[in-house]
Every structure is written in C-alpha cells, then in structure tokens.
Amino acid sequence: MNHQRSSMLFHQAKNSIPGGVNSPVRAFKSVGADPLFIKKASGPYIYDEDDNSFVDYVGSWGPMIVGHCHPDVVAAVKQTVDNGASFGAPTEREITLADMVIDAVPSIEMVRMVSSGTEATMSAIRLARGYTGRDNIIKFSGCYHGHADALLVKAGSGAATFGVPDSPGVPADFAKHTLTAEYNSLDSVKALVASNKNSIACIIVEPVAGNMGTVPPQEGFLEGLREMCSNEGIVLIFDEVMSGFRVAYGGAQELYGVTPDMTTLGKIIGGGLPVGAFGGKREIMEKLSPSGGVYQAGTLSGNPLAMSAGIATLNILKQPGFYQKLEDKSRAVAEGIAKAAKDAGFPLYSTRVGSMFCAFFTKGEVRDWPSAAQCDTKAFAKYFLAMLDEGIYLAPSQFETAFVSAAHSEADIEKTIVAAARAFKQIA
C-alpha cells in the first residue's frame, strides 16, 4: 500500500509543527512508521492523502459513534453555520443539549459546557476543591484525564505510549497534591485516604479505563469507591469523556448502576466537533461562577456548531434498539479478532465494554497499569502495520481503545476478522 504523499506531508509538517503532529500519539512513533494524513471520511471509512481507504476503528478517538459524516449531523452543522459559528453569548441550543445530557446521565443535575475533555476534567477538579475546601486529589495509574498540570502524573494514553508518564514542565508543587492509586485496587485507595485524612477533595476515575487499552472495572471496585467517598466527604468524579454515551446512553454509571457526584463528558456530545462538559449535583454545580465563587470561563464554550452536532447525534442515539445493534456488532468484531489470534496460536487477552474493545498482546489478565505494561508492544506494532496493509485502521498504540460505530456493516466486520487472521499468522 502506497503512503508516499502522507510521508511527504509528515516531513513537511515537522518543519512547522512540533513532531509533525498536533497531538503526540498521532505520530505513529510507537509503531515505527510515518502517520497517515487523512483527507476525508464517510460512514465507517477514512481515506488518506494517497487515496487508500480503511475501515476505521479509531473514530476520531471515540466520538464518531454514528459514523463519519452522518447526514443528520452534517445537515445540522450546515444549517447552523449559515447563521454564525460563534457568538460568545448564550444560545437556545445550549439549553437543549444541556437538558438532553441531564435527562440521560444519572449523576448530572446541572451541566456546564466547555470546549475539550481536558478543560472538563480540569474544571471539575477545581470545582471539587472549591466545594470541599481541600487540596489533594486521587487519580489512578494509567488513567488519562487530559494534559492539565495536576493530572500528568502516572497518566495513560499518549504518556503511556511514549513511556514518559510524568511530563517535564509540571511543577513539583502541583504534582504533590496528586495522589496515585492502582486501578481496580480498593486497598490502594483506602491506604491513601487513611494517610491523608480530611485532605482529599476528590477521586477522579475512568469508570471504564480507556487510556491503557480497554480495562473494565472489576466487580465491587466502583461500588467501593462510591461508599468510601460518601463516608469521607470526598467528591467522586467519573471521567466519562470516553465512555459517556458510548457504553450506554447514560454512560458507564448507567451500565454499572453506580452514581458519582460529578461527571466529565466530551467526544460524542459534540458529534465530532470540539466539545466537553462537566456536571453533577446541583449543590456542587451552583458553587460555579457566576452563581458561586469557583471561576471557569471559555469564549467558545457551548458554541452553536458543537451544540447542533451534539443534539443531532444524541437524537440518533435515542432511537430504539441503537445500543443493542451496536452491542451485537462490537461483540462480533472483538470475539472474531480474539478467535483469529487463538487459531493462530498467538497469545492475546481480549477486553470489551459495549463498543469499546482492545486486544492486549499478553498472556495474562489485564486489570491495571502494571499488568497492561507487560504487553509485547513490538508484536503489537507488527500487528498494527499488518492490519493497516489490509485496510484496517486501528489506534497506533497498544494502550488505546478501539471503537465500533453504528455505520460498520457485517461486511466491514468480516473483512476485519479475515485481516486479523492473516496478520496473526504473519507475526506468529
């Protein structure tokens, strides 16, 4: 498969953009190749600058749950842009989308729109600190919550991909307030809470970890966090930037029946446009400026294009049977890849929650960052490149999640499974 123009553009980009990309994992460094430059997308497919087509399981890192360029979403954005892209003033669409989010997500009684997932988590933590009057926070090793200073401590995602979980440029005075526990280990959380009594403002967690690959919560983990936070006066924040509206219409909290105090959202609620949101209990959210003293602002927050795309997307997700159909497709592709690996005698640990799935290149169970870190990343890189040659576009990192969309057909899934069988035989 020819990637000549993509390689040329990457070489050109490195002269004007640090590393040639505007987000690190896009650089394909961990798989030893030059990144593809994408020209267009439609449904479950993306097309690069060399006119190669791929079945896409990245989906812009999650938001394209209805597929690329869904006609309803495109029509909503086109209609809106005719009247203006941004006003820096309130619009009716903000209320419409806010009400849809409140109706869908169990924990959210009020919601504030922002422009990115990073902004959502950063703001939620500030609000939790303002609400509790405490400084410390607990996060989990391998969970990524955006690139705010306090959160770049033992982070997953791009940081995990490059093996540099702690970023230069983060002052020690910021990092010292971030305590790190192990995902799926209540004992590690209890120890931190006990040794930092009455100083912890919040615990922030991906209820389904998606930034060290897809790692589901073990039975009792989320319930244990909920009980601990209730007993200790700690704000429990679910980072559902990835899992929100993805694993269920009401997110992971609906799926697992555990309600946090606050939730951060992104990705899907903007239909692919830049967006984020954080919300939660009314008594917490009313501490936010201008109704309270905790400051947060953004000129592009709630911009009409993102609101229109989000409303159109959520209206599609609300259609009867949407999630069941997506569940069936996701099960087929994840189980098909796992079977292809087994048939080839290749060690693999497969995980899936709803339409999020991951093939871990390890023999052992993956339940946290230490076990995920045991994966054979060199074998994954070979698999990734082999799948790319077969016309299957996966995330260029072992430590990322794959996403299935409603636009993927049975033929797309069958093509993916056949490609995986060939790839495993090639690298076994």
Instruction: Tell me the mean pLDDT per 10 residues along the chain, length 428.
Output: 94 96 91 95 98 98 98 98 95 98 98 96 97 96 85 56 56 81 96 95 98 97 98 98 98 98 96 96 98 95 97 98 98 98 95 98 96 96 97 96 98 98 93
Q: What's the whole-model pTM score?
A: 0.95
The pLDDT of residue 171 is 76
Q: Which residues contact 315 (CB under 8 A, 6 or more apart)?
A: 72
Q: Residue 292 and residue 127: Cα distance in Å, rounded?
A: 10
343 is catalytic: no
Question: Quick one: DSSP state of residue 209?
Answer: B
Q: Among all chains, which residue has been given the structure tokens 């105090």?
A: 261
> What local confidence, expressed as pLDDT, does residue 162 receive?
39
CB neighbours (10 Å) of residue 358?
27
- Catalytic residue, from 267, 323, 349, 368: name it: 267
| Amino acid residing at 279 | G
Residue in 144, 256, 323, 349 annotated catalytic: 144
pLDDT for res 377:
95
- 99 carries an active-site annotation: no
Q: What is the DSSP string of 257-317?
A: T---SEEEEEGGGGTTSS-EEEEE-HHHHTTBTTTSSB----TTTT-HHHHHHHHHHHHHH
How far is the C-alpha of 83 from the C-alpha of 136, rounded, in Å?
45
Please provide the size of the chain in residues: 428
Predicted local confidence at residue 166, as pLDDT? 61
Alpha helix positions (H), 155-220: 157-161, 172-175, 186-195
Our answer to whether residue 267 is catalytic in this structure is: yes
Q: Indicate the helix (H) or strand (E) that contains 56.
A: strand 53-56
In angstroms, the CA 345 to CA 281 distance is 50
CB 379 within 8 A of CB 359: no
Tokens of 241: 């930037």
- pLDDT at site 428: 79
Spell out the domains of the chain, with CATH numbers in brackets.
4-69+322-427 (3.90.1150.10), 71-317 (3.40.640.10)
Q: In which order are the strands placed within the sheet that holds 45-48?
A: 38-42, 45-48, 53-56, 392-393
